[in-house]
Amino acid sequence: MKKKLAAIGVIVLAVAAMTPRVGNIEYPRPEAQAVWKWVTESDPYEGWGYWPGKDEMYPGKSPHGAHLMLYANSVALKALRKGKQPLPAGSMIMKVNYGEDKKTVKALTPMYKVEGYNPDGGDWFWAKYMPDGTVAADGKAAGKVASCIECHAARKDQDWLFTQYAAKGETAY
C-alpha cells in the first residue's frame, strides 16, 4: 500500500511539474488539447486584446491564411506595451487565419511561451488547429512543430516573432 501511495505521489508531482505557473495563474500544460481548451474556454482568445498595431484584419500569406487577425493575452500585452523582449512565460499569441472572403476561418495558430519547454525553439509551443479544435496534420501539428520552428528561426533574435511590437511596416506572417 505504501508503495502504491508513493507511486501515486510521484505521478501527481510529475503532472504538477508539467503545469506552468506564472504568478498565481496556472497555465495549461504544453499539450494540444490542454492549450485548445485554455484558449477557447478558460481564457478565450476573443477576449484578449489585439496585438499592438494589428487591431484590424490584415493581409497574410502562406502558410497562414489570406487574411489574418492577431490577438495577444494579457501577459503578452503587458510586456509588449512596456517594450519587453523576449516575451515572458505565459505569453500567448493567437493568429486567426481567414480565407479570401475574409469571413471563413481556415485555421487558428497559437504560440505559447512555456519556460523550459523547448529551449531550441525559444520555449514556444506552436500549434495549428482547425476551427473545430482538431489539430491539423493528424495531431502532429502541435508542440515542437518542425515547420514552425524552421520558419520562425529566421527571427530567433526577435524572440522568434515576425510581427514586432507595433512597428509599422513589419512583415506579418
State the pLDDT at residue 37. Answer: 97
Per-residue pLDDT of the chain (173 residues; tens, 9 = 90+): 565 555 444 443 344 445 666 667 899 999 999 999 999 999 999 999 999 989 999 999 888 999 999 999 999 999 999 888 899 999 999 999 999 999 999 999 999 999 999 999 999 999 999 999 999 976 678 999 999 999 999 999 999 999 876 444 444 43
What residues make up the domain containing 138? 27-158
Residue 168: inside a domain: no
Residue 118: inside a domain: yes
For the record, the C-alpha cell of 77 comes out as: 500585452
Residue 51: inside a domain: yes
Residue 123: inside a domain: yes
Concatenate the DSSP letters of all residues of 132-152 into one string: TSPBTTTTTSEES-HHHHHHH
Residue 4: inside a domain: no
Residue 14: inside a domain: no
**How far, in Å, CA of 13 to CA of 15, rounded?**
5
Q: Hey, what amino acid is at 114? A: V
For the record, the C-alpha cell of 76 comes out as: 503578452
Burial class for 70, CB neighbours closer than 10 Å (0-12, 13-18, 19+): buried
| Cis status of the peptide bond prior to 86, with omega within 30 of 0 | yes
Instruction: Count CB atoms within 10 A of the CB of residue 36.
Output: 20
Residue 56: inside a domain: yes
pTM score of the predicted model: 0.82
State the pLDDT at residue 16. Answer: 44
> What's the CATH number where 42 sits?
3.50.70.20
Q: How many domains does the chain have?
A: 1
Paired with 68 in beta bridges are 58, 97
Residue 55: inside a domain: yes
